[in-house]
Structure formats: C-alpha cells, structure tokens
Amino acid sequence: MTPVLATLAEAWSEVRVHKARVVLSLVGVFLAVFAMTTVTALGLIVAQVQQEQSERMSGRSATIGVTAYDPQTGMPPDAAEWDAAVAGLTERYGITTTASIGYEETRFRMPGGTQLVQTKRVSPSYGQLHRIEPIEGRWLRAGDRDSLAPAVVVNEAFLGALGVPDLAGRPTVVIGGQTPVRAAIVGVVREGYGDELLAYRVDRSAGPWDEPTTATPAASVYGPSTLELWVGADQADEVMAVVSHDLGLALGGAQVDAYRQDSPDLEETLGMLRLAIRGVGVVVLALGGLGVLNIGLVTVRQRIREIGVRRSFGATSSRVFAAIMLESVCATFLAGLAAVALSVVLVRNLPLESLLNSGVPLADVPAFPLAAAVEGLVAATAVGALAGLLPAVIAVRAKVIDAIRF
C-alpha cells in the first residue's frame, strides 16, 4: 500500500517542481485532446443531426413503405377494410409504430386569393416516425380526427403568405370547396424550400367536409396513401417479404407494394465519417505525444544525478521506472482533463441548432457525448504512458555511480 502511495506522491511532487516544463510539454497534448474530443463530440452530434434530418425525409431506420390499390381501378381500398388488414398485420408481427401518409392538394383561401397547397394527410404517429419538432405550437394528435374544425400544421412560408407573424393570435384559414370550413393552424414546422407552402392535416376526420379519398373540389388526391411500418433494421427484409403477401390476401386481391424507405447506407456513411475524424485525432495526438517525449528525454538527462541520489536512498529500478512513467501519465492525464473540460464548455455553448439544423430544434438535444470525453481522457493517459516509456528506461539504465559522481 505505502509504496504505491509513495510512488504517486513522488510523481506528483515531480510534476509540481517542474511546473514550467511540464506545462510547456503539455500544450501539445492539451491542444490535441481538446481538438480530438471536440471534433469527435461534434462528429457524433453532426451524425445525430444528419440522422434526424434524413429521418425527417424518409423515416427512421428501418421504415418500410406500403401502398395498396385495386389493380383495375387504381382506387385505394376501403378505409375500414384497410384499417382491419393493417391492424391484423401489425399485431401478427409485433410492429409497434406505424404511420399513414397521403398526398393531396388543398384549396386554402389566402389573403391574395385561393391557393392550391400541397398537403400531407398523415396519422399523428407520422410526427414521431419522422422526428418532426414544431418550432411553434404542436404536432397533430389523435383528437384532431374528431374535432369540429380541422387542425392544420403549416410551414413558415404558409404562415407568411397568410400574413401572420406567429400563432399568438390563434390564426385560422378557410379551406374552400363544397363545404368551406375554417381550419385552425395549430403548429408551425420548418420545412420546404424557398417560399413553397406546405401543410399537414390529420389523415382522416369525422367532419362532413372531409372526403380525402374521393376527388372533391376542395382537395385532389394523388394516388393511394402510404402505410409506413417502423421495424428493427434486422427485421426489415423479413417484414417486407411477408407484408405484400399478407395484406394482399386480407384485402382480397389488391395490389400491395412494400419497399424500404430509409437509406440503409446512412449508417455506413456515418461510420466512415467517424472513422476519418478519429484518424485525424490520433495523428494530432501522436504529434502532441512526441512533444512530451522530446521534453521528457531532455529533462531525464538533466535529472540523472537526482535519480542517482534517489538510488542511494534505496530506490529500486521499478520505483525509478514507475516514478518517471507516472510523472508523465499524471501530467498528460491532467492536461487531458483540462482539455476535455474546455471541450465540454465549448460544445455546450455552440449554437448547434442554428449551425447544423437551420434553427430547427433537435428532437434529441445532443448532450456532450460521454464516449468522446472518456476517449479523450484515455487517449491522454495512453500518450503519457507511451511518452514516459523511453525516459523511464533511460532513467533505469543510468549508472548510479556515474550519476552521483561530481
């Protein structure tokens, strides 16, 4: 017990006494660990953001899209029949998250006149599956299907065209058609390019104005709606194979297509990105380690006499070795700790959302990745051990009598 304490005490005392040179030699390691930890952390965060963005477009990994229509008429199956078939399917395969999505064009009465706006008719779970985070208001929910007035989620351009700054005044918009109805704008999302207007409505509702599956003057429907199934990536192929078959049977001969919607390559791409970042970090760190080694070599020669004196106190070779080694490890560990701390402070204070996600709040606000912090500390310690190795060997091999000879 006490020899361990004593070795630590000795190493610490060395670091303290040689403050200036230690600090100097550590600048490299500090910068390297700082850079590496920050880059790794940002890399992990960027990866997460990219994933979110990609998921917003095509759903989480793995999302399977399913469409069904009558091969003769091209018409979608009857809603009740379809719901029953889907319920049977999800139960059979233990699929917990599904969403439906249909596209239509809706006539909105805007201040400048009636405008056709591309509208997605989605089930409330679509928001979860695509990680939609409204920048204001709320996302659609199941209750919207039964509400007296339709609920609409729009993009910022839509709100702008309406001449409304935000949702504070509970804005409404009239949906034209046979039965014009005043819809409430409940949420705003950041989506769409330029001044393209976009709107979301819940997939179906009880109101008399709602006839999404038939061609009405209010809205024209593009093809059948799509069912999205969220399954584990390893389950995807299996589910795709059975879905067409099972649904086709349940719907009595309807044409059912199933396809993978998310990009399975994404994870691979992100993996490569992380690897590249880590590679650069290792090179930078190695350079920092060389700095520590260099100064360690210079000072161990200056301290040969001191080591000889310690030998006269009864220091064994292993104690001499451990002391020089630990000194290096102690120092780089502290540098690593400081670097990681600074990195945490920096990353936490970066305006990540506006940098990476064009101001859209991130669904999972990225914490500082623990992996990056641990990695930084481990790397710093390892560099200290490696850089301490050679000076420690030199110190052990120094001849005592030559060392203390004046």
Residues that bind other proteins (CB under 8 A): 2-3, 5-6, 9-10, 13, 17, 305-306, 309-319, 400-401, 404-406
Half-sphere exposure of 175 (CA within 13 A, CB side): 31
CB of 342 to other proteins, least distance (A): 29
CB of 2 or CB of 96, closer to other proteins:
2
CB of 17 or CB of 282, closer to other proteins:
17
Please list the alpha-helical segments (H only) found in 139-203: 156-162
Residues in the chain: 406
CB of 17 or CB of 370, closer to other proteins:
17
CB of 3 to other proteins, least distance (A): 7
CB of 268 to other proteins, least distance (A): 54
CB of 71 or CB of 314, closer to other proteins:
314
Give yes or no for a contact between 29 and 288, defined as CB atoms under 8 angstroms apart.
Answer: yes
CB of 397 to other proteins, least distance (A): 12
CB of 6 to other proteins, least distance (A): 5
CB of 12 or CB of 103, closer to other proteins:
12
CB of 178 or CB of 302, closer to other proteins:
302
Euclidean distance between CA atoms 23 and 116, whole angstroms = 67
Give yes or no for a contact between 252 and 267, defined as CB atoms under 8 angstroms apart.
Answer: no
105's enclosing H/E stretch is strand 97-110
Give yes or no for a contact between 247 and 68, defined as CB atoms under 8 angstroms apart.
Answer: yes
Question: Dihedral sign, CA of 323, 329, 334, 337?
Answer: negative
CB of 2 to other proteins, least distance (A): 5
Euclidean distance between CA atoms 392 and 320, whole angstroms = 7
Copy the structure tokens of residue 103.
């596209």
Task: Enumerate residues 6+ apart whose C-beta is below 8 A from 380.
Answer: 29, 33, 332, 333, 335, 336, 337, 339
CB of 300 to other proteins, least distance (A): 15
Eight-class DSSP state of 179: S
CB of 294 or CB of 317, closer to other proteins:
317
110's enclosing H/E stretch is strand 97-110
